[in-house]
Amino acid sequence: MKIALIGYGEVGQILGEDLRAAGHTVTAFDLKLGSVEGEALSAHALGHGVTLAGSHAEAVRSAELVICAVTANQTIAAAEACALALPAGSFFLDFNSASPGAKTAAAGIVARGAGRYVEGAVMTAVPPHRIKVPLLLGGPDAAALIPRLLDLGFSAKLASSRLGVASATKMCRSVIIKGLEAMTIESLTAARHYGVEDAVLASLGETFPGIDWEKQAVYFFQRVIEHGRRRGEELSEAAVTLQEAGLSPWSAAGTAERQTWVADLADGGIFGERGSPGFARTTDWRVEADRILDHLHRSRGR
């Protein structure tokens, strides 16, 4: 199959690797291509036989399936850039973590051309599952796409023929999952400051005995430090989802702010050089909490 990837970040690269390993033709485009950051993307594509395109339109022009995996705030812009270049009958699978309203708007844009829009919701972290990450699909053309995705190795099931159901499921889940990440970082960093982290962890273990909070804290710190920017954007979309339902997004908005704050610290280098082997890979969350506390102490001392 001829497949186009719009967005060649972590998710795009994993899909590119797995699809190329299965013998499919893969073309990709990313806005970062041509920049300093894009050098790593180009090297990855070269190493895995992925063809890089010079624009959205060039990437999708001959594709049977387009998978759009960009940052949440680029959902509509990416659909606009691809819509009129989509071949007749091709599928546009929107992987992005966007609100039901944004997905519906993107579907309307794709409908202006000859492609068929399918809403996709990625229901857990991609890296452990790779191409088999659980997917919920939605929209009038979703059922027609599922057999093709299963043949490609995806794990996809139909959420609804109605647009917005899959993304609402994803966004409402994210309020809790990403919220837990942000709350854990806040709680344990403060606990570290007061010297009560062991007592807090012991209490959490008694209340939620099925969770290894020591390991969970390491994972949460790592993921937010490495991907807080994307998570913050996703939670901003979750906040919009809540607003679309008539709810004030107090916790979702706060989570978006905290995730983005950690991303800003990571970009500032307090956790080491981004992209280096040791970045966000410590096996003790206390190391990262101490870096945050040291940064706050130095900031107050200025």
Q: Is the pLDDT of residue 302 over 60?
A: no
> Could you report the per-residue pLDDT of 40-77, keeping only the tens digit for each?
999 999 999 999 999 999 999 999 999 999 988 899 99
CA 43 to chain CA mean position, Å: 22
Specify the pLDDT at position 301: 77
What would the mean pLDDT of 10-31 be, rounded to a whole number?
97
pLDDT at 275: 74
Percent of the chain clearing pLDDT 90 (strictly above)? 92
Q: How far apart are the first and last CA of the chain?
A: 58
Mean pLDDT value across residues 76-95: 98
Alpha helix segments (H runs only) across 27-137: 38-48, 56-60, 75-82, 100-110, 126-129
pLDDT at 280 over 90: no
Q: What's the pLDDT at 106?
A: 98
Q: How confident is the model at residue 122 (pLDDT cuts 50, 70, 90)?
A: very high
Alpha helices by DSSP H, listed for 121-279, are 126-129, 142-152, 165-194, 197-207, 213-244, 250-267
Distance CA 157, CA 103 (A): 18
Residue 188 has pLDDT above 80, yes or no: yes
Q: Is the pLDDT of residue 37 over 60?
A: yes
CATH 1.10.220.110 is right for the domain spanning 167-300: no
- Please tell me the predicted confidence (pLDDT) of residue 198: 97
Give per-residue pLDDT as tens, 217-239. Answer: 999 999 999 999 999 999 999 99
Q: List the strands of the sheet with 116-122, edge to edge.
A: 51-52, 25-29, 2-6, 65-68, 91-94, 116-122, 134-138, 155-160
Q: How far apart are CA 93 and CA 248, in angstroms?
A: 30
pLDDT at 271 over 60: yes
Give ranges for CATH 1.10.1040.10 in the chain: 167-300
The architecture in CATH of the region 2-163 reads 3-Layer(aba) Sandwich (3.40)
pLDDT of residue 53: 98
Question: 116-130, 133-147, 240-254, 273-287: which range is least confident on average?
Answer: 273-287
